[in-house]
Structure formats: C-alpha cells, structure tokens
Chain A
C-alpha cells in the first residue's frame, strides 16, 4: 500500500509519530510505519521535475538488476520487477518475515514529454534512478521581449 510520507523536517506530527512507534514497539504490535519506507511488493516512487529532465526514483531494495524491466509508452513510464526471496523457501525455517516477495509493477504518468531514446536508468544501493531528458518541445524556453 502506498503511503505518503512527509519529509521529516516538514512533518508537524513527527514527534507524535515517534511516540506512537515506540508504544507500538513496546506493545509488540509490529511495525506499521516501516511499511512506508520499504518492503512490500508495491515500491514507492518519487517523481521530480527538473529544467531539462525528469528524475524518477524508485525504492527496490533487494531487487536484482536483471529482475527489473523499464518501459515507456507515450508519456507513461512502467517499472516492472520481481522481488525474489534470497533463499530456498522450502529448505529454511522463517522466524520473521516483514519484507514482501513477488512481482510488482508501477506506472507513472510523466508530467512532460520525454525523449525515450535518451533515458538512463541506474541502480545503486537498492534505489533505482531513471533520468528522462525532456523532448525539445517540452523544455522551457525563454522568450525575449523585443
């Protein structure tokens, strides 16, 4: 489930949330808050708009490069992937499972037209960054007043 999270510095309820988390931890009610920072099979994305390009970040901890597939159709970006368990599930005994496993796909409608031939994707420390240069027509142009 996607959960919108405020950046910490802007969140007026940060203190209360921290307290709630501590209480839940003490009462052994699990870690609902943690769902929003990772795990599950519905990875959170960021869409950032720059001058010359768009930057889409996606949190895919534990997903291998070869299990990711990125495609662009018109102004729709699709990120597909698979979170595979790193062990043979039948051979080992799980004591705790908080990370999800399975297939996921996220579709992002891009706010601007992009040049699909120049898209670059990079995976580092479980964060996928896709840089999509805007097509010439979508770039902001400065108009001189004559």
Chain B
C-alpha cells in the first residue's frame, strides 16, 4: 500500500490556531541545485486530510494532527515511549520564494514542501558585450 498523497496549499488570510499541546515537528531544510528550498517535516501519525499548510503575509505555517495514535481502550499499556501529538511550526519566507507555486506531499509520516525560487530571484548570467 502506498500512501503517497498530494495536498493542496491554501493561501488564506487566517493562520490556524494551534492548541497549547502542539509541539514543533522536526524539520530538515535543504536547498536544491535550482535554488528551490525543500522542507522535510516529520509528522508521524497524521493523515493527509489532517495536515494544513498555509502561507499568510510571508509566513508559512504547518499544522498537523497526529493525535489519532492512541492506546486502544482494550489494551493496557506496559510501556509507553510516545504519544500522538498535534504539530505546529511556522517559518518566515524570504521574498525570493515563489509563494504561488509551493508544492506539498504527504507520505510515510513525512510532509515534504518544495518552495521554488521566484524567477526574479534566480541567478542569471549576464553576458558581457564586447565594447
């Protein structure tokens, strides 16, 4: 079973309101060769429809709900090393990011966001004309 799922980015004026219990998820950020910035966010337990990514006034907010991971009622916990969490984290975007073309994907408990560089911010080689 593949749980590769594409999600749509909402660009709305209001940011989600995380509860006090929300914890910041772990993030890897790297820059690709074409200048795009890729965020890999760990959101174990969160389903695709429980993920909310928004861009508002230059701030990228990531909210996800993994609280479904719970001890089923008929079980007695012998050892508990983790519990499902609500995840929330926000990032300020640089002006170089093309906000309209951010791509998001959820797979295997990871949210991957690809933030392409706006064409105006891409490195351009300028030819020097012979004078």
* Contact between chains at A60 and B40 (CB < 8 Å): no
Q: Which 3 A-B pairs have the closest CB atoms?
A: A126-B109, A61-B109, A44-B81
- Most chain B CB within 10 A, of A25, A96, A111, is at A96
Closest chain A CB from B60 CB (angstroms): 14
Interface string of B32-64 (1 = CB under 8 A from A): 110001101011111100000000000000000
Pick the contact of A55: B23, B27, B72 (CB < 8 A): B72
* Contact between chains at B81 and A63 (CB < 8 Å): no
Given A34-B23, A37-B82, A46-B77: A126 touches B44 (CB 8 Å cut-off): yes
Interface assignment of A124: CB less than 8 Å from any CB of chain B: yes
Which residues of A lie under 8 Å from residue B32 when comparing CB positions?
A: 87, 92
Given A34-B25, A57-B69, A87-B30: A44 touches B42 (CB 8 Å cut-off): no
Which residues of A lie under 8 Å from residue B30 when comparing CB positions?
A: 87, 92-95
Which residues of B lie under 8 Å from residue A23 when comparing CB positions?
A: none
Interface assignment of A91: CB less than 8 Å from any CB of chain B: yes
Interface of B is mostly: loop
* Contact between chains at B82 and A125 (CB < 8 Å): no
Pick the contact of A48: B29, B42, B78 (CB < 8 A): B78
Interface assignment of A107: CB less than 8 Å from any CB of chain B: no
Q: Give complex CA distance A39, B23 in Å.
A: 13
* Contact between chains at A126 and B42 (CB < 8 Å): yes
Which residues of A lie under 8 Å from residue B37 when comparing CB positions?
A: 95
* Contact between chains at A62 and B42 (CB < 8 Å): yes
Interface assignment of B31: CB less than 8 Å from any CB of chain A: yes
Q: How many residues of B contact A (CB 8 A)?
A: 42
Interface assignment of B21: CB less than 8 Å from any CB of chain A: yes
Interface assignment of A135: CB less than 8 Å from any CB of chain B: no
Pick the contact of A125: B40, B46, B74 (CB < 8 A): B46
A107-134 contacts to B, CB under 8 A, are 108, 111, 123-127
Closest chain B CB from A113 CB (angstroms): 14
Which residues of A lie under 8 Å from residue B75 when comparing CB positions?
A: 48-50, 55
* Contact between chains at A59 and B44 (CB < 8 Å): yes
* Contact between chains at B71 and A98 (CB < 8 Å): no
Q: Give complex CA distance A76, B30 in Å.
A: 39
Interface assignment of A2: CB less than 8 Å from any CB of chain B: yes
Q: Give complex CA distance A124, B33 in Å.
A: 32
- Most chain B CB within 10 A, of A15, A50, A62, A87, is at A62
A55-83 contacts to B, CB under 8 A, are 55, 57, 59-64
